[in-house]
């Protein structure tokens, strides 16, 4: 069987993929993650996941590649990772007291096949006070996270409900990833 390569340096994706009991290598490709003008969040994450898989496939031509990308969308705007404290606060102001969508694109690729999917989960945030934002930023957890929060961490206290896949919000929708693996006969 061909070896599996996770095209991501995300510790959360690594942990989620380990839950499936699979052995894999990690190789994080360098790609331009800029969104195209008028690109939807769903199209954006699918494109990035497939680009990552393509780059890694060139490095490991005989491997099975799994790549993913996760972003938030509110009012049609893509919210990626915060560039600064101010940027995180701007994002939180947009999602405070309302629902937003989290999209993950997943691409599984071999030299002969490419399969991809986009998974959407709706997340509801409580109203965040300035103190909530200051306290959460001070933990360091929001840095490097799409939407400037980690549902599996301290941010869970601000999230009364979600509709859809929890692992999608963490960064790799496991059920759907397993289905892609089954399609290429990696799993039964």
Catalytic residue IDs: 69
Q: Is the separation of the CB atoms in 78 and 71 below 8 Å?
A: yes
């Amino acid at each position: 069987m061909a070896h599996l390569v996770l095209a991501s340096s995300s510790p959360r994706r690594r942990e989620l993929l380990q839950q499936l009991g699979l052995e894999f290598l990690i190789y994080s490709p360098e790609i331009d993650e800029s969104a195209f003008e008028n690109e939807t969040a769903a199209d954006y994450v699918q494109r990035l996941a497939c680009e990552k898989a393509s780059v890694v496939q060139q490095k490991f031509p005989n491997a099975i590649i799994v790549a993913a990308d996760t972003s938030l969308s509110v009012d049609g705007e893509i919210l990626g990772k915060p560039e600064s404290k101010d940027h995180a606060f701007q994002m939180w102001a947009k999602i405070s007291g309302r629902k937003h969508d989290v999209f993950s694109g997943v691409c599984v690729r071999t030299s002969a096949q490419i399969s991809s999917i986009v998974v959407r989960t709706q997340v509801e945030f409580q109203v965040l006070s300035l103190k909530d934002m200051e306290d959460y930023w001070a933990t360091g957890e929001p840095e490097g996270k799409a939407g400037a929060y980690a549902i599996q961490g301290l941010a869970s206290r601000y999230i009364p409900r979600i509709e859809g896949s929890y692992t999608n919000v963490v960064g790799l929708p496991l059920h759907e990833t397993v289905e892609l693996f089954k399609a290429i006969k990696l799993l039964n």
